[in-house]
Chains A and B, each alone.
Chain A
Amino acid sequence: MLQTSVNSGTDRTLAQLHEGEAGVLDRLDLPDDIARRLMELGFLPGHIIVPARSAPGGEPRVYRVDGSEVALRRETASHLILRAPKT
């Protein structure tokens, strides 16, 4: 976990990860049915997620998760909270 600065108090979200920077999902801050849909695609607590390329303009962005690639908009990614790295 190099260069992962954590603002104490505020949780880091998937949307804040840089391209290629791995993060571990902690929880999905979304209504149950939407969270389920994302979990079915591999966005599960404890899973490692790596942001890949994004569309021109930075949105939506492709994420490598659980062996596949799934694109999300920032509005969705910003509700996926990452686990704070142990420092």
Chain B
Amino acid sequence: MSDCHSCAGCAVAEAPPALHKNARSHVVAIIGPPNSGKSTLFNRLTGLRQKVANFPGVTVEQRVGKARMQQHHDVVLVDLPGVYSLNPRSEDEQVTRDVLAGTMPGVPKPDALLLILDCTNLGRHLVLAAPILSLKLPTLVILNMADDLKSRGGHVDTAELASELGSPVALISASKGQGVEKVFQFMEGTSAGTSSLAPPRVELPILQDIPRCRQWANDVGTGAAYRAPAPPIWTRRLDSVFLHPIIGPLIFLLVVAGVFQTIFKGAKPLMDGLQSLIQTSGQWIEHVLPASIFRSLLVDGVWSGVGAVIVFLPQILLLFLFIGILEDSGYLARAALIADRTMAKFGLQGKSFIPLISAYACAVPAIMATRTIENKRDRLATILIAPFMTCSARLPVYTLIIAAFIADRPILGHFFGAQAAALLGLYVLGFVAAVMTAKLLKSSILKSERVPFVLEMPPYRWPTLRSLSLRLIDRSKVFLRRAGTVILLVIVVLWVLENLPVKNGRPPEIADSFAGMIGHAVEPVIKPLGFNWKIGIGLVSSIAAREVIVGTLGTIYGKEGTSESVGLRRALQSDLTPGGAVALLVFFAFAMQCMSTIAVVRRETGGWRWPALQFSYMTFLAYLCALIANEVVRSGVFT
């Protein structure tokens, strides 16, 4: 490697690479190891001008954004998944390879690369530079966390590193925005086609051999006068509290209780507010428009569908605010560490804990929160069991049936009666089903190829307002656009089922509607569970959301459709056997009667395969257990 300078010129001459393609925009990909600050940089460069989708056919999320240039057209930025190498072992690595090779459908081959590395850990992160630089694309090597490096007494000579690697090097702090202008300058240069490729002074190592790559990275670091920073003192101090054998778990429980309380109770007034806003505006629309089937479709179909979608927003926003703070501060890794031992018993891991706890409030934000689990199988297992957790939408159904059918005999004095025991039993039932399903999944279709549990412990950092708010906006957009459209559609379809066919220009009685016909049609199937056709209609309507069945039953029986309605309780008592009532509770504990969850699972797993499997499995389990419950109660074991 002594004749490098002589061929520097020819490299440039050889490479008027196809940079002047006016036909399409200039594409720059961001690549880096996990925890290198990749997403922070991406957010910094694009701000709100980004969108999220999945790479075709895989669960890997694709983030594409636009960075505004001063002199040129916008640059299209593609954020690639975090990887340590390009050895295609995981989906993430395969996607990264495909994008870089230009073989990923729908993603143009990048014209230039931003390689982002954590410079407080340069030796280890530089390993990725070898395979990336050997692609011979114009690459800016970005050393992130410059502020940390400096404050902890580390050092690196960027000019020296640049000449060693043959690529420009920028020392930046993505979270503080320091040095980001150098990234823009680089992209201005590559869009103009003026960037030149100098061959690296150091020889790039063979890709597959990790020890040699690591040695190479060390040598490169030494050549660039790299001095590793001192250990993060504050992180060690905080860990002595957060991972303390006694105080640690207490803080963990407090945090978990805080998350739970916030999404369960804190979101309630906001959700109620939104609901009444939708209701009031619906009434206003009703008032303004002349009475017609069209008005009913607009108000009871579309408008209430819109309401059904946005009512989730407070929970999603609050949960992601929490998760954002936990993840950005570094505490989430500690929480996962503490929870891991318990979760491992169910074949899961520490990072599944917060999503599963959130699922007690609502499975929708919980499933979106599984994104923090890097291991694909663990993430999928968590998504598949989350809807078994007793969410708040089951409560109105439970309350109604329990109040109607279970006499509140005291069991443990006044505080704990038979009704409370029944409710607790239903919570336990859901939890047991989740645990058993997790075990079943991990020993069958999600049998892991013995992927070890590996959890990196990032240093503690202050979360930034910018990153938190971008995350909230991003999650809301993803939910509204991807899940919202499906939910809206189903609500409208259900309206059609309940309000057609039109009789004498008026909507039919619910028993004569399409929904009623379906209720009658499914009666033979649900009869063994102790359900009649009215419950059948309720089950059909509850696909929109579980609690909808209460209102539907109110309509069918001509009573007030709330869970406290005495009239509705009486009607059910005379129309439903005790066996049927218990079976209904069991059915609701297990069945995936929630189209929002189905829509979110589709969105998060990138297709209909998993939600279809999950829906079938849960419905089958619900049917089977409801059947058993009905038979057991009917046979009089408990009387």
By a beta-carbon cutoff of 8 Å, the part of chain A in contact with chain B is 30-31, 33-34, 36-42, 44-46, 52-57, 59-60, 62, 64, 66-73, 75-76
Among candidates B231, B243, B344, residue contacting A73 with C-beta atoms closer than 8 Å? B344
Binding site for A on B (CB under 8 A): 84-85, 87, 89, 120-121, 123-124, 127, 210-211, 214, 228, 231, 239-240, 243, 245, 248-249, 333, 337-338, 340-341, 344, 350, 449-457
Chain B residues with Cβ below 8 Å from A54 are 243
Beta-carbon contact of B452 and A59 below 8 Å: no
Among A53, A56, A68, which residue has its beta carbon within 8 angstroms of that of B121? A68
- Assuming A44-B210, A44-B211, is B454 touching A71 (CB within 8 A)? yes
Q: Which residues of B contact A72 (CB under 8 A)?
A: 452-455
Q: How far is B240's CA from A54's CA once the two chains are assembled, in angstroms?
A: 10
Shortest distance between the CB of B595 and any CB in chain A (Å) = 38
A73 touches B340 (CB 8 A): yes
What is the bound-complex CA distance between A49 and B63, given in angstroms? 36
Whole-angstrom distance from the CB of B341 to the nearest CB of chain A? 5
Residues of A within 8 A of B228 (CB): 67
**In contact, B239 and A53 (Cβ under 8 angstroms):** yes
CB distance from B172 to the nearest CB of A (A): 19
Whether B84 contacts A55 by the Cβ 8 Å rule is no
Asked if B452 and A60 sit within 8 Å, CB to CB, the answer is: no
- Shortest beta-carbon distance from B460 to chain A in Å: 11
Closest approach, in angstroms, between the C-beta of A16 and any C-beta of chain B?
18
Residue of A52, A54, A60, A76 ringed by the most chain B CB atoms within 10 A: A60
Q: Evaluate contact between A76 and B452: CB separation under 8 angstroms.
A: yes
Inter-chain CB contacts under 8 Å: number:
103
Q: How far is the CA of A55 from the CA of B339 in the complex (A)?
A: 8
How near does chain B come to A36, taking the closest CB pair, in angstroms?
A: 6
- Say yes or no: A71 contacts B338, CB within 8 Å: no
A79: nearest residue on chain B (CB-CB)? B452
A58 to chain B, nearest CB (A): 9
Query: Given A36-B210, A44-B211, A62-B337, does the pair A56, B85 have CB atoms closer than 8 Å?
Result: no
A67–B120 CB distance below 8 A: yes
Q: Which residues of A contact B211 (CB under 8 A)?
A: 39, 44-46
Chain B contacts of A69 at CB under 8 A?
A: 456-457
Docked CA distance A65–B252 (Å) = 26
- In the complex, what distance in Å separates the CA atom of A34 from the CA atom of B375? 13
Nearest A residue (CB) for B85: A40
Select B455's contact among A36, A37, A70, beta carbons within 8 Å.
A70
Docked-complex contact B344 and A62, CB < 8 angstroms: no
What A residues does B452 contact at CB under 8 A? 30, 34, 37-38, 72-73, 75-76
30 A-B interface contacts by CB (under 8 A):
A33-B89, A37-B89, A37-B454, A39-B210, A39-B211, A40-B85, A40-B210, A52-B239, A53-B243, A55-B338, A55-B341, A56-B248, A60-B340, A60-B341, A60-B453, A62-B239, A62-B337, A62-B457, A66-B121, A67-B120, A67-B121, A68-B124, A68-B456, A70-B454, A71-B333, A71-B454, A71-B455, A71-B457, A73-B344, A76-B454
Distance between A83 CB and nearest chain B CB, rounded to angstroms: 14
A56–B239 CA distance with the chains assembled, in angstroms = 13
Q: Are B456 and A70 in contact (CB under 8 A)?
A: yes
Nearest-CB residue, chain A, relative to B120: A67
Nearest opposing residue in chain B for A35, CB measure: B210
A52 to B120, CA, bound (A): 19
Considering the chains assembled together, what is the distance between the CA atoms of A64 and B248 in angstroms? 20
**Across the interface, which residues of A come within 8 angstroms of B333, CB to CB?**
71
Q: Which residues of B contact A34 (CB under 8 A)?
A: 450-452
In Å, the complex CA distance between A53 and B124 comes to 22
Q: Quick check: B337 and A55 within 8 Å, CB to CB?
A: yes
Determine the distance from Cα of A41 to Cα of B455 in the docked complex, in whole angstroms: 10
Which residue of B is nearest A42, CB measured?
B124
Q: Contact partner of B338 among A45, A56, A68, A70, CB < 8 A?
A: A56
Rounded to whole angstroms, the CA-CA distance of A16 and B341 in the bound complex is 18
Distance of A66 Cα from B125 Cα, bound (Å): 10
Whether A66 lies near B124 (C-beta < 8 A) is yes
Q: How far is the CB of B132 from chain A (nearest CB, A)?
A: 14
Q: Which residues of A have CB within 8 Å of B249?
A: 56
Query: Chain A residues with Cβ under 8 A from B240's Cβ?
Result: 53
Question: How far apart are the CA atoms of A53 and B457 in the complex, in Å?
Answer: 11
Q: Is the CB of A71 within 8 A of B337?
A: yes
State the Cβ distance, B94 to closest chain A Cβ, in Å.
13
Are the C-beta atoms of A66 and B123 separated by less than 8 Å? yes
Assess A70 versus B121: contact at CB under 8 Å? Given A62-B337, A76-B452: no
